[in-house]
């Protein structure tokens, strides 16, 4: 029987999967189903250079459109998968047509978490996830306008950086007591609060949004008794995995589609990759869902290798990044549960330092602010479960190559 592989999703993981299948010699038919009108594209630049108008859409594509024709990948864009029939091995798309498969890969990604508050349907309350979202936001960014960003995570702060440079009046509202609390340690949070204040952003932490006010269009963000004037509101309070198709098909779901080391679900004919998945990460010894480009690319390569009967690629330390103003934050590992934080450089002055996180003497993570050597060296050290001398780690006179393993 001829193999027929269907990919549901058109993000970074889906694009990499199509490329890896071609590289690994997959000979069957491949169909990629995506809800947006675009071929698979990179999402991280959406809140950075694409929002700022520094790159065009074609620069975001994971692979040029011609790649799919050349590789025999059938793109079904502007198309939504509505159901999976595992017994018949078909995917039902809007309109009722059924796509047969011998192997199915779910690359459904995630979506912005909505705030179920009064006024959340007012004109001017927006979210940022897709090209269309960014185009809608960008059309409303004008010098002097009042932008309120709900959420002090990566997306919200990257948007704040772009808007501040475009001379908008920017306010960031964060419910937690510090910025980027889910991703970085307190020292780095404090640095970014100072950075944004220096750039003219009004940062308010420890405040919960209770609603949005206005007639047809948003004019205020309500936080209890406080009201913040707004011409535009962008909500960025995290992402929820798109698991509905998997759950309705009877696959295991736990804050993500549960997969094994090869990115397979309990159904051997169904794989899942990217932001929508949850798995035991062998390097971190944790069962978790990661939202990152690195994870999407890595899982796509692992799934392609498994489908093609090839050995899986070696795994790397998970890494993440964020660009805000002239500052590049690069993170490796996960700092949760650390018992020691070692600072290299000065976070209180300038814009270059690193924080290393150790647990029981083992390096488990790094947050590097404009510090590429510390970031690159730490990825290898974390993978090796190294035990660097804390006093030397914080000493800038000791080159990072001295810790090589």
Asked if 144 and 166 count as a contact pair (C-beta separation under 8 A), the reply is no
Where among 176, 209, 235 does a domain terminate?
235
The average pLDDT across 60-83 equals 97
* Domains identified in the chain, total number: 3
For residue 134, the domain's CATH number is 3.50.50.60
Where among 235, 260, 276 does a domain terminate?
235
Residues 179 and 209 in one domain: yes
Residues 123 and 204 in one domain: yes
Residue 343 lies in a domain: yes
Where among 307, 338, 362 does a domain terminate?
307
Residues 339 and 355 in one domain: yes
Instruction: Give residue-wise pLDDT tens across range 155-181.
Output: 999 999 999 999 999 999 999 999 999
Residues 21 and 99 in one domain: yes
Residue 147's pLDDT band, with cuts at 50, 70 and 90, is: very high
The average pLDDT across 273-287 equals 90
Residues 142 and 289 in one domain: no
Residues 162 and 219 in one domain: yes
The average pLDDT across 316-327 equals 96
Q: For residue 240, what are the β-bridge partners?
A: 111
Whole-angstrom distance, CA of residue 155 vs CA of residue 42? 14
Query: Cβ–Cβ contacts within 10 Å for residue 262, how many?
Result: 15
pLDDT at 1: 54
The average pLDDT across 104-126 equals 97
Residue 319 lies in a domain: no
Asked if 164 and 200 count as a contact pair (C-beta separation under 8 A), the reply is yes
Residues 165 and 107 in one domain: no
Percentage of the chain lying above the pLDDT 70 cut? 100
**Average pLDDT score, the chain:** 96
Residue 55 lies in a domain: yes
Residue 60's pLDDT band, with cuts at 50, 70 and 90, is: very high
Residue 100's pLDDT band, with cuts at 50, 70 and 90, is: very high
Residue 154 lies in a domain: yes
Residue 314 lies in a domain: no
Supply the range of the domain harboring residue 392: 326-403
SS3 call for 42 = coil
């Amino acid at each position: 029987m001829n193999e027929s592989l269907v990919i549901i999703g058109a993000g970074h993981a889906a694009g990499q999967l199509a490329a890896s299948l071609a590289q690994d010699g997959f000979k069957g038919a491949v169909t990629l189903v995506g809800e947006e009108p675009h071929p698979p594209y990179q999402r991280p630049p959406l809140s950075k250079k694409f929002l700022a108008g520094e790159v065009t859409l074609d620069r975001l594509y994971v692979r040029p459109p011609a790649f799919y024709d050349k590789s025999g990948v059938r793109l079904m864009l502007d198309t939504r998968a509505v159901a999976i029939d595992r017994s018949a091995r078909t995917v039902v798309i809007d309109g009722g047509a059924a796509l047969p498969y011998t192997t199915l890969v779910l690359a459904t990604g995630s979506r912005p978490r909505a705030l179920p508050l009064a006024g959340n349907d007012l004109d001017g309350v927006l979210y940022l996830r897709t090209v269309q979202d960014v185009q809608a936001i960008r059309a409303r960014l004008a010098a002097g306008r009042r932008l309120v960003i709900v959420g002090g995570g990566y997306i919200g702060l990257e948007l704040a950086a772009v808007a501040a440079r475009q001379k908008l009046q920017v306010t960031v509202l964060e419910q937690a007591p510090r910025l980027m609390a889910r991703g970085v340690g307190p020292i780095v949070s404090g640095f970014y609060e100072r950075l944004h204040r220096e750039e003219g952003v009004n940062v308010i932490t420890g405040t919960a949004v209770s609603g949005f006010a206005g007639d047809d269009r948003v004019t205020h963000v309500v936080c209890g008794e406080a009201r913040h004037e707004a011409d535009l509101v962008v909500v960025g309070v995290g992402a929820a995995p798109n698991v509905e198709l998997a759950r309705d098909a009877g696959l295991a779901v736990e804050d993500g589609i549960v997969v094994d080391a090869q990115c397979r679900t309990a159904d051997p004919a169904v794989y899942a990759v990217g932001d929508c998945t949850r798995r035991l990460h062998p390097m971190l010894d944790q069962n978790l869902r990661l939202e990152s480009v690195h994870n999407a690319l890595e899982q796509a390569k692992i799934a392609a290798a498994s489908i093609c009967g090839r050995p899986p690629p070696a795994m790397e330390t998970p890494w993440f990044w964020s660009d805000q103003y002239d500052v590049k934050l690069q993170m490796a590992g996960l700092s949760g549960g650390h018992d020691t934080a070692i600072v290299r450089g000065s976070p209180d002055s300038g814009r270059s330092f690193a924080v290393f996180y150790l647990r029981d003497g083992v390096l488990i993570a790094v947050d590097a602010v404009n510090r590429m050597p510390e970031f690159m060296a730490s990825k290898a050290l974390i993978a090796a479960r190294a035990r660097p001398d804390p006093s030397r780690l914080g000493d800038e006179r000791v080159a990072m190559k001295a810790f090589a393993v």
